[in-house]
């Protein structure tokens, strides 16, 4: 049976005419998708190349930081960036390396390198509409300098992971970082609080101090990493054993040599002790200074651990004598005065009476550390910096923490900042 077409008479060529009318639109959509997608892909490639080049420049700036202070007089950082960019398909004419950066928030800052890539991408189907090539650009800024750290409280959950109740507390030029997510992660009730460096807290701040002079504190900051996690523990295999039993020094003049002290060291009474430069390993017993003892340790690092024979002891400086300790100027433990085994929670307490100067880093990832200033006039320097589990600062006196710039640990800060 034949069925009559009720939609009207057939019109030969009607579909062809519609296709002809729509064809430019279809070609435009295809061109937009193909060329737009290629342009986006090229921008991703250019950005990845700029990032890699900026990191290469940053690594070179850090490697030569002690001599060049973050600048690039010999052009080695520039060459490193250009080499990496070329290896990723962007030769020198398309790459501009500026050290220090010429724009952005790090403009003019040594220790930073700005990498810009500018290239073009020829159109494919898009040539039907335009003969112009698509411009593609990318920019990155890399940092390459020693890490600046003042206090890092690593504990992730505790209230008062950093607490200051001291009459006066000063943190000079180095940041305070508190990893705890507690609403009262940082607690300050000091009479005078002076911080000229950034304050970064994962949780919240309870600030009831009377006079606070500080830079703006930031909360909700992601926890930072342990910057000294890479540091190896001292290898005692070739170290001389200076004492096979706990050593107590009381009342005479002594000279100590670096090496292993089984059962630790206690310096007390009227002792006058000179510690020769080097690494001192306390295998149990800890390291304690009390009484009227005077201790001078220039270029020394004390490592506190345990042993099968002697349990671990604390690190404690609490005497009324004079204590001056500076950290090694070079080597693996440059910038460190005290290093406690990462798994030990033995407390560390440092008390100043206006006569205590400890200029290096105190590193104790699992320990609660207490600083006490006990003199109303004068400021004790109780450590140049701290990387610890928690830190409490108290007392009627003043406490200053300032690592300075000449003897900081060799911790690289090589990363992208833009």
Any idea where the domains of the chain sit in the sequence?
14-146, 151-416
Which pLDDT value is given to residue 27? 58
pLDDT for 378: 45
Contact 119, 136 (CB under 8 A): yes
Rounded Cα–Cα distance for residues 49 and 133 (Å): 21
Q: Are 337 and 361 spatial neighbours (Cβ–Cβ below 8 Å)?
A: yes
Provide the residue-wise pLDDT of the chain in tens; the chain has 418 residues.
444 555 555 555 566 665 566 556 555 555 555 556 667 877 888 899 999 999 999 999 998 988 898 999 999 999 999 999 999 988 888 899 999 999 998 999 999 999 999 887 765 555 555 556 678 888 999 999 887 778 899 999 999 999 988 777 776 667 889 999 999 999 988 777 767 678 899 999 988 866 665 667 889 999 988 999 989 999 999 899 999 999 999 988 999 999 999 999 999 999 999 999 999 999 999 999 998 899 999 999 999 999 999 999 999 988 777 888 889 988 899 989 999 999 999 999 988 765 778 888 999 999 999 988 665 444 556 667 899 999 998 876 556 666 665 567 777 888 888 8
Chain centre to alpha carbon of residue 368:
21
How far apart are the C-alpha atoms of 243 and 263, rounded to whole Å? 8
Give the residues across from 278 on adjacent strands. Answer: 300
Q: What is the pLDDT of residue 192?
A: 73
Residues 6+ apart with CB under 8 A from 292: 269, 270, 319, 320, 321
Reading the block at residue 3, the tokens are 């069925």
Residue 322: its pLDDT value, please? 84
Output b/e per residue, 366-392; b: 16+ Cβ within 10 A.
Answer: bbbbbbbbbbeeebbbbbbbbbbbbbb
Global confidence as pTM:
0.76
Q: Note the pLDDT of residue 404.
A: 60
Q: CB neighbours (10 Å) of residue 183?
A: 11
């Amino acid at each position: 049976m034949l069925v009559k077409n009720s939609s009207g008479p057939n019109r030969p060529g009607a579909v062809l005419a519609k296709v002809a009318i729509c064809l430019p639109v279809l070609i435009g959509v295809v061109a937009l998708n193909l060329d737009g997608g290629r342009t986006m892909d090229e921008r991703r490639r250019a950005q990845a190349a700029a990032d890699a080049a900026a990191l290469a420049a940053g690594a070179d700036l850090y490697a030569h930081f002690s001599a060049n202070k973050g600048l690039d007089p010999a052009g080695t950082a520039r060459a490193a960036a250009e080499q990496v960019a070329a290896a990723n398909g962007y030769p020198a004419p398309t790459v501009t390396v500026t050290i220090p950066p010429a724009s952005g928030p790090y403009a003019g800052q040594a220790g930073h390198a700005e990498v810009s890539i500018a290239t073009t991408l020829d159109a494919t189907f898009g040539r039907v509409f335009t003969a112009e090539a698509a411009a593609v650009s990318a920019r990155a800024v890399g940092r390459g300098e020693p890490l600046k750290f003042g206090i890092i409280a690593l504990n992730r959950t505790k209230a008062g992971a950093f607490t200051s109740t001291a009459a006066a507390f000063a943190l000079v030029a180095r940041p305070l970082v508190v990893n705890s997510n507690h609403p009262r992660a940082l607690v300050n009730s000091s009479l005078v609080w002076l911080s000229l460096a950034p304050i970064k807290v994962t949780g919240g701040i309870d600030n009831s101090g009377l006079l606070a002079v500080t830079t703006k504190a930031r909360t909700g900051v992601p926890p930072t990493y342990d910057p000294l996690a890479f540091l190896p523990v001292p290898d005692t295999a070739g170290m001389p054993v200076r004492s096979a039993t706990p050593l107590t020094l009381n009342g005479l003049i002594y000279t100590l040599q670096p090496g292993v002290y089984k059962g630790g060291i206690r310096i007390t009474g009227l002792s006058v002790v000179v510690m020769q430069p080097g690494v001192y390993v306390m295998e149990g017993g800890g390291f304690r200074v009390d009484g009227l003892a005077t201790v001078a340790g220039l270029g020394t690092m004390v490592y506190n651990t345990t042993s099968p024979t002697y349990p671990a002891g604390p690190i404690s400086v609490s005497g009324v004598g004079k204590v001056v300790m500076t950290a090694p100027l070079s080597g693996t433990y440059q910038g460190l005065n005290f290093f406690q085994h990462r798994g030990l929670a033995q407390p560390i307490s440092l008390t100043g009476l206006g006569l205590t100067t400890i200029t290096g880093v105190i590193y104790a990832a699992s320990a609660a550390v207490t600083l006490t200033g006990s003199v109303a006039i004068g400021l004790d320097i109780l450590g140049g910096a701290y990387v610890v589990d928690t830190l409490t600062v108290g007392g009627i006196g003043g406490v200053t923490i300032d690592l300075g710039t000449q003897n900081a640990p060799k911790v690289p800060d090589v990363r992208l900042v833009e």
